[in-house]
Amino acid sequence: MIIDPHVHVWKRDSKYPWAKETSKPPDDDALPETLLKLMAANGVDKTVLVQVIYYRWDNSYTRDVMRQYPDKFMGVCRVNPDSPASPDDLNRLVKDGGFHGVRLSPAAGPEGDWIRGDLMHPLWRRTGELRVPMLVLAPITRMPDTARLCDKHPNVDVCIDHMADCPADRPDQLPMLLDLARFPRVFVKISHTWNVSTQDFPYRDTHDQVKRLYDAFGPQRLMWGTDWPMVEKKCGYAKALSVVRDELNFLTAEDKEWILGKTALKLWPFKTG
């Protein structure tokens, strides 16, 4: 079974308005029907829908897509990290909305310093109580902040998205992410090689970075991901899969089983029967 643990969907529809902060909404739709065709063409069985930032904290569209295709999708929501109500919002989204996970996206600059604030601890505690994963989309320089939260909340499953976007030409920064391997419930998506590379497909200048993560975390805590539809402006859906399945020569067949599907099942309990 192949599971893609990272895609986004959206629709230009007045029923699902963009958040007021969205100054440049997308020109095209990212519809589940398009995604399902790509999945079928590439042998991908299940997919995790990650709430896209264009909607901010209104998770309605992702929720409705999950309900429309419950045998194919699970979802990760967003809540406002600056709101004291975020733990209760997460509680509602998980129990009533059917979401399984929440995502935080602290920026590198001062505007992302909320990850160091007091509001994080109630939200992380509630995430642990609900037994859903905490996804962290953050630059590599935010990994020490993430480590402090992992240390305070060891019962939370944490997934670092896109290798913390550590640039391929800055291997000196990768230890900030490698340090998280000491927390047994931290996972890493080895996605976005196409974004951090300075080369064309198959992004060979990133393979050493992936190997270092493999050596630190092991295949049972790594997973791939397309980041569709963003990947379409780079290599496309099929090549995002091919990078892991065909180009990382140090991976064994068993490693690929974990990275392409079995690791994701630890965090998203899809029905596999």
User: Where do the DSSP E strands lie in the chain?
Assistant: 3-7, 46-50, 73-78, 102-104, 134-136, 158-160, 186-189, 222-223
Q: How far is residue 260's CA from residue 220's CA, in Å, rounded to a whole number?
A: 10
H or E element that contains 108: none
| pLDDT tens digits along 196-243 | 999 999 999 999 999 999 999 999 999 999 999 999 999 999 999 999
Kindly tell me the burial class for residue 269, based on how many C-beta atoms sit within 10 Å of its own C-beta (0-12, 13-18, 19 or more).
exposed
Contact of 97 with 77, CB cutoff 8 Å:
yes
pLDDT number for residue 272: 72
Structure tokens, 205: 């200048």
Report the side by side order of strands in the sheet with 73-78.
3-7, 46-50, 73-78, 102-104, 134-136, 158-160, 186-189, 222-223
Q: How far is residue 14's CA from residue 231's CA, in Å, rounded to a whole number?
A: 26
pLDDT number for residue 205: 97
**Sites in the chain below the pLDDT cut of 70:** 273
What is the CATH topology of the domain spanning 3-267?
A: TIM Barrel (3.20.20)
The whole model's pTM is what?
0.96
pLDDT number for residue 273: 64
